[in-house]
A and B are shown apart, each in its own frame.
Chain A
Amino acid sequence: MTFRKMLLASVAIACAAIPASALADTSGKKIALSNNYAGNSWRQAMLTSWEKVTGEAVKAGVVAAADAFTTAENQATEQAAQIQNMILQGYDAIVLNAASPTALNGAVKEACDAGITVVSFDGIVTEPCAWRIAVDFKEMGRSQVEYLSKKLPNGGNLLEIRGLAGVFVDDEISAGIHEGVKQFPQFKIVGSVHGDWAQDVAQKAVAGVLPSLPEVIGVVTQGGDGYGAAQAIAAAKRPMPVIVMGNREDELKWWKEQKDANGYETMSVSIAPGVSTLAFWVAQQILDGKEVKKDLVVPFLRIDQDNLEQNLANTQAGGVANVEYTQADAIKVIESAK
């Protein structure tokens, strides 16, 4: 048997058994994570998940390396330079959480031209040569209003807490919420503030606008801001509206306390930080030679009244409710997009 035949045979065997093929074909490949920000609990959970899942993958020999890099200043120019460094360092794939959907396109194109696979997730890029793993943020916003319409069929006034002004995700979720209000016209948004996805900023913004608002029966949020809103409303001694939460541990804990004390009901929805691991497996599958569509959709993680306790128990203190994805999950997502 010549070497060539041996290779062919091993490929044939590998094709028969998918997990083995991963071992055979990508074990020499290096994947890098380019991350633009690490300063909040969601991003910390995202990096921890990455470390855990890719650490095991490297140990198992699925890939040669999976290094995570985070820029210090959350700026597109800095991240573009970081991507250029990764090209020089000879990575085979770059998994990217981008500071801007468009400003990195030049650097991403350079990477593609150098034969590097670029998979963007969460903060996606519009450059056509890159893959995108996006959350249907619009639906995430709309589903909140839909939930409220079932819970409060008579409707009423809503307070909207938005994220960071000028960021794509903020615009999308907010558009979804406004779509939802159009769909369920019994609701009216009486106030809208920017909470920057941070509890203390949300608390400050809500406390500032609350004195001028009529009675609010629901608060629609973007995640990371529900607990701050609850604090501000409690401080103003107003009746507690239904605050849609965003899967943060402090939010879930507060919800659990309220549920035990007075039967408080709400729901919680956000994107799981473990989506970074899904992006990792998708990149690995692409390197493996799989046909993968450029646009993939990852489901968001929703917590309801009945599975609150279970999710709270699984959530690390100070963290975010999380799901870590496996290679099989990634294959399923890829298959379902076809």
Chain B
Amino acid sequence: MRLLDRISRRPWIWSWFAAFLAWFATIVTGGASTLGLSQAALTFAAFSIIVGIGQMFVITLGPGNIDLSVPSTMTLAGTVALKLMDVDNAMILPGLMIAVLIGIAVGVFNYALIKALRIPPIIATLSMSFIIQSAAIWTNRGLRIKPPSVLADFTTATTLGVPNVSLVALVISVCAWFLLEKTIYGRWISAIGQSMPAARMAGIPVDGTRFVTYLFCAVLAALAGYLLACFSGGAALNMGTEYLLMSIAVVVLGGTAVAGGDSNVPGIWGASLFMFLVVSMLNTYGLGAGIRLIMTGLIIISVIMLAGGRQPGAR
């Protein structure tokens, strides 16, 4: 009983529970094949997980911190990297490098706007996203170049039945978990999120920490864009669009405090799987688009209500 009690206090347990329910319902009542559905869910959740982790770090920094440039960063990184690689297997690493560099550049500019010009993050990253999106349009006007064959095979294949992209997401998640729970940097961002003035008084390098966090988020978005472009057989100008709300939704659903200062990585997984599975479930039932959207909204609200019902002080 005490174990159950302890588990139910974990903020991430509800997103996992919801994901499992949706998975179960789709298979039992919708008649989906277990392996097919699980593989599809892991594959597509991987992209939300990667951008979600970046967004989670930013949100942990406290009220008002958010990165709205995630979708356009994905698009720019995907288009530029694929253009550079130009179907050449030897160019895979340079392509990855350029994607990461784009992420770094976006992160630097984002934080420059926030810090030097004192623009609130929501406005700074939104205006940045217009600039990045225009840059993506300007670079190749939506030209769809196929990814190098090795990379295309890698992103679409499975290892021992587990999709490769979800393994990449797993590695990133473990690193993020380590950063967050085991390093001083993780303590710092939680402290800043709980109270910025207090963190400053305590001698935490607030600006440096925030800068690194925005950088980290942009790099993860760029990486997700690179992987997604290779996975779906080419970059498209609108490929990042749905990941704006998705990246925020998985953070909130996963039990990370929206007010900042308290985050957790496992919740991102549960929430990402859930977001994919709930759409699959409602699609399987063949409901109309209107009902589908209403249901998605209602289900998300109920999960957040359940996850939010934790006792104060409990982690």
Chain A interfacial positions (CB closer than 8 Å to B): 38-41, 44, 48, 72, 162, 165-166, 191-194, 196, 198-201, 203-205, 207-212, 227-228, 231, 235-236, 249-250, 317-319
Residues of B within 8 A of A204 (CB): 44, 276
Known: A200-B232, A207-B44, A208-B276. A48 touches B141 (CB 8 A): yes
Q: Indicate whether B156 reaches chain A with its CB closer than 8 angstroms.
A: yes
Q: B144 to A249, Cβ gap below 8 A?
A: yes
Residues of B within 8 A of A231 (CB): 156, 232-233
Residues of B within 8 A of A196 (CB): 238, 242
Which of the four size classes fits the interface of chain B? 35 or more
Query: A211–B144 Cα gap in the complex (Å)?
Result: 28
Q: Indicate whether B256 reaches chain A with its CB closer than 8 angstroms.
A: no
Query: A235–B157 Cα gap in the complex (Å)?
Result: 8
Query: A236–B36 Cα gap in the complex (Å)?
Result: 7
In the complex, residue of chain A having the shortest beta-carbon distance to the beta carbon of B283? A209
Residues of A within 8 A of B289 (CB): 162, 165-166, 194
CB distance from A71 to the nearest CB of B (A): 12
Residues of B within 8 A of A194 (CB): 289
Q: B142 to A41, Cβ gap below 8 A?
A: yes
> Which residue of A166, A193, A207, A212 has the most chain B CB atoms within 10 A of its CB atom?
A212
Chain B interfacial positions (CB closer than 8 Å to A): 26, 30-33, 36-37, 40-41, 43-44, 130, 133, 137, 140-145, 156, 228, 232-234, 236-239, 241-242, 276-277, 279-280, 283-284, 286, 289-290, 293
CB pairs A–B below 8 angstroms (18 shown):
A165-B289, A165-B290, A194-B289, A196-B238, A200-B239, A201-B242, A204-B276, A208-B40, A209-B283, A211-B40, A212-B280, A231-B233, A236-B36, A249-B144, A250-B234, A317-B145, A318-B143, A318-B234
CB distance from A16 to the nearest CB of B (A): 42
Given contacts A212-B33, A317-B144, 7 further A-B contacts (CB under 8 A): A39-B241, A41-B236, A165-B290, A203-B232, A207-B43, A208-B40, A319-B142
Interface SS, A side: helix
Contact partner of A39 (CB less than 8 A), chosen from B41, B237, B279, is B237
Query: A116–B41 Cα gap in the complex (Å)?
Result: 52
Query: A227–B241 Cα gap in the complex (Å)?
Result: 18
Q: B239 to A198, Cβ gap below 8 A?
A: yes
Q: B283 to A208, Cβ gap below 8 A?
A: yes
CB distance from A328 to the nearest CB of B (A): 28
Q: B238 to A318, Cβ gap below 8 A?
A: no
In the complex, residue of chain B having the shortest beta-carbon distance to the beta carbon of A210? B36
CB distance from B31 to the nearest CB of A (A): 5
CB distance from B281 to the nearest CB of A (A): 9
CB distance from B165 to the nearest CB of A (A): 12
CB distance from B94 to the nearest CB of A (A): 21
In the complex, residue of chain B having the shortest beta-carbon distance to the beta carbon of A224? B236
Known: A191-B283, A201-B242. A44 touches B236 (CB 8 A): no
CB distance from B155 to the nearest CB of A (A): 11
Residues of A within 8 A of B284 (CB): 191, 209, 212
Contact partner of B233 (CB less than 8 A), chosen from A48, A165, A227, is A227
CB distance from B145 to the nearest CB of A (A): 7
Q: A212 to B32, Cβ gap below 8 A?
A: yes
Contact partner of B238 (CB less than 8 A), chosen from A40, A193, A211, A319, is A40
In the complex, residue of chain A having the shortest beta-carbon distance to the beta carbon of B136? A39
